[in-house]
Every structure is written in C-alpha cells, then in structure tokens.
Amino acid sequence: MRELKHLGNRYSKLIFVLMIVIILVISLLTFVIAAGGGGGNPSPPPSPPPSSPGSSSSSSSSSSGSGVYFYGLTCDARGVIAFNKKPKFESVNVESADDGSVLKDIKGTWDGFKFTSDEAIMLKAGKYLIRDSQTNDLTVDYPGLKFSCKLVDLFIDECFIANNRLSAKFTLSNSAAEDLKIEFEKTDGKTIGHSKLSKSGELKELKVTNLGENKYSLELENAPEVKILQISHPDCIGEYYVYSKIGCMKKSDEKKSEIASDKLVKKEELEKKSDAQESGKKLKCGGYMDINDRVKCRVSLREEQAGEWENFFPEECKAWKPETQPKCLEFYTSVRECWKFENGNARINCVKRQVKLADILTEKANCNALEINKKEQCNKDLKDKVNAVVKFRLYNLEEEAERFYEEGKIIKDELVDFVVKMEFSKLEYNIAKDKQEKKNIILKARKAWIELVKKMKE
C-alpha cells in the first residue's frame, strides 16, 4: 500500500512540474508575438493526420483568420467517413461525384470538431465529396466496403451433448466462420477457446462445416464437460456486441422432459428453458466469457454509453458469490464521488471516509479493548476496511492508465493488458492467506505500473 502511495505522489509532482514548464513556454510565446507588433492572423489548424490503413483521404485543407476550417476527409474499408470541421455541420451530407446522388444527414458523432460516422455508412466504391460554402469542397476516393461489424449477424440456434459428443448449429452472415472465436464454459467454471490466434488442447477435434445459406454446424468429439457455448467475432468487441451464447443441453434431458409431463410441464417449455440463446446486444460487455474481451469492450465504448450499468459491472464483484455481490457493489457505488478529487491523498482520504476508516493503529487499539466476543468481529471489520482501501489503489491505477490511453500515451492493447493484471491482482488479494502474500501481490502490481509508465510515448 505504501509503495503505491509514494508512486502516486511522485507522478503528481511530475505532472505539476510539467504544467509549470508549459505555462512558462506559453508566456514566452505570447511575449514574442506581442513584440512582433501583434494583430497577426491566428495559426492555421494542424495538418490533417495521416490516413488509417485501408483508407483514402483528401489532401485539401482550408483555414481563415476567423478559425474556420474543413480538412482531413477520409473513408475507410469499414464504411466510416471522417473529417475535421469548424464550425460543425448541422447536417452531414455526402455526394457521389459519379452519379450525383446524395446521402443526407448521415449518422455519427462529433468529438470536438472531428466528425466520425457510424460504420457501413459508405458502401459502394467511387469518388465522393462534401461541400462547404464557407471554405472549400473536399473529395475522397473510396475503395468500397470490405468489412463492417455493424452488418455481421450471428446467432446460435442449438447446442446438444450426447454420448460425449457435442453438436451445435449457428447462423452467420457477412463474415467468414474462420474469423470467429469459439469458447466453452466447463462445468467447473473454467473456459476453453478456439480462434485463429490460439486453440485449446481440449478442442483439437473441433470441426465447423458450412451448410449453405449462412448456416453452419459445429461438432466436437470427446467433448469435455461443458455447460455453455459462446461464439464471438474478435474484431467486433465493443458497441456492436457481435456474439451469442447458449446453454448446451444433454440429449438425455429430452427423456426426462417426457417424465416431467406428469407434473404438467411441457417438453417444449423445458427445452426452451434449457436451450435459451442470449444475444450479445442484450448482454453487452458484461456477457463475454473472457475477461480480456470484457475489458477491451469497456475501453472501446463511446462517451454516451458510459451510463450503461450492464457494461460496467465490476470484475471483482463478478467473482464473488451471488449472495455477497451486493456488498461488493455497495463499495464500488460508494466511492464514485471520490473520482472528483485530485489523484493522491485527497482521493484516498475520500475513500477512507466512505468505508469509515480512521487511524488504523487507533482503531486496532479500540478493537482490542473490547470484550472477547466483540473484539474478533471488530478486528475483522477493520481488516475489511483496510483491504478495501488497498484494492481501491489498484482500481485507481486502472483509471490513471485509461487516462494515459485517452491522451494517446499508450495503445489500447497496453491498456487492456494492464487493467486485466490489476483485476487479477484484486482477485488474488482477496484469497491471499497472509500479509506476505498480500505484500507480494502489491509489489507485483507496482512493477506492472512502472512497466506501463516506461511504455508511454514521449
């Protein structure tokens, strides 16, 4: 705990020094401009950023002394069109230079003065332009839509297990089956998976067959004891939630359902209950089996999706038993207000107030002064409060890492990897047997943080 605190203080001091340097540089530039006579036009907007892989962009740009500009028009293979425009368009309209047709009021989001459309807005290859009477018209050569998660349709129709053999059927459109990730949750809670990048040794005999008309069969001989099948598209983790999961029903359950009919339970109803498919669009980020996928999904969300609770169910609470999850959620809810405080002592003191933790030595002395039947519970409660503050420090590092990512200092994969390490640290901390184990876990987290800081771009 102390090591993380000192690390946070050093980082805060570094930020403070950098702020002072920036202020001095700005002041110096202001003086130089004033000395030159003033009254000059403001600097033009920055040069258009380089196009992303697989996209074409317009090289035209325009600016004026009033700060009006329009530049950086791109259109990539996902059918996403983007550009920088000040002031913003009230309605974004894209015209085909080939036939004159116009796509009116296309959907998308503004991040400041940068517009990014939804996927699959642009479909057909050709030359397109956006007109702007205040500056200039921009054109872009679009190679055509190659792939979009928005258009992928994935649905598991059924999953059965009979004689140690698993068979399932699913529907897939606008994607190749070999690009999918197939996972099973075993009866012991562990997961095994298969994808282009990795394959579990237990899934060597997994076979996917194209049945035609977007229908596929999935077969697995010598199937391990599994209860849930999930199929997802690794390239679509995020807002489109392209995945599906279903419970795998044993064929023997059909015979049991006939016996159950004596109890006025219909066979069809039993099968529906046992074999219910769940859509990723309903489950969202929290429904993925793999913690890496859940974390990657969350950091890919747009700002307007931040209030979707099903996307932000705490990973630590997910590992708790159902009857104890409310207590875990209560802690995460109580510390929300602490994020408004500056990182460091102010934020940690807020957390201590929320868990009602005062001076540890004083509280421990008070507990030991109680009667024997109350002392044990008092010390247990004190221990829980201290542990909560320690785990918040790990949580706080996740938030700082996300800030690095938003500032462009680390890439998404680095952020996801670090957050997953912190989540596992919290889980390991919860089952640690003694102080030394807990100390080792914190030191390991500290090392991961230092390694992340070293990766930051200059």
Residue range 56-142 forms a domain whose CATH class is mainly beta
- Residues 452 and 409: their CA atoms lie apart, in Å, by 10
- What is the pLDDT, as a whole number, of residue 313? 86
Least Cα distance to 286 among 260, 327, 317, 251 occurs for: 317
- What is the pLDDT, as a whole number, of residue 434? 93
Q: Which residue has the tokens 């996927």?
A: 119
Q: What 8-state DSSP symbol labels residue 217? A: E
Angle of CA points 29, 32, 35, to nearest 5°? 150
> 39-47 long-range CB contacts below 8 Å, 24 or more apart?
41/65, 42/67, 44/69, 45/69, 45/71, 45/84, 45/86
Q: Assign 108 to helix, strand or coil.
A: strand
- What is the pLDDT, as a whole number, of residue 311? 75
- What is the pLDDT, as a whole number, of residue 307? 66
Q: Assign 444 to helix, strand or coil.
A: helix
Domain ranges of the chain: 56-142, 149-290, 314-455
- What is the pLDDT, as a whole number, of residue 297? 92
Residues 6+ apart with CB under 8 A from 257: 265, 267, 270, 271
Tell me which architecture the domain covering 149-290 has in CATH.
Sandwich (2.60)
The dihedral built from the CA positions of residue 314, 319, 322 and 328, taken in this order, carries a sign that is: negative
- Residues 16 and 220: their CA atoms lie apart, in Å, by 58
For residue 364, give the H/E element and its range. Answer: helix 360-368
Most distant CA pair in the chain: distance in Å? 96
**Half-sphere exposure (CA, 13 Å, Cβ side) for 46?**
7
Strands 249-250 and 153-162: parallel
**Fold match flag (56-142 vs 149-290):** yes
- Count of residues in the chain: 458
Mean pLDDT (10-residue bins), the chain, 458 residues? 35 41 36 34 37 42 66 96 96 95 94 94 95 95 95 96 94 96 94 90 93 97 92 90 94 50 44 68 91 92 69 87 90 92 94 94 94 92 94 95 93 96 96 94 97 84
- What is the pLDDT, as a whole number, of residue 456? 85
Q: Cα(first)–Cα(last) distance of the chain, in Å?
A: 28
Predicted TM-score (pTM) of this structure: 0.74
Least Cα distance to 152 among 234, 266, 251 occurs for: 234
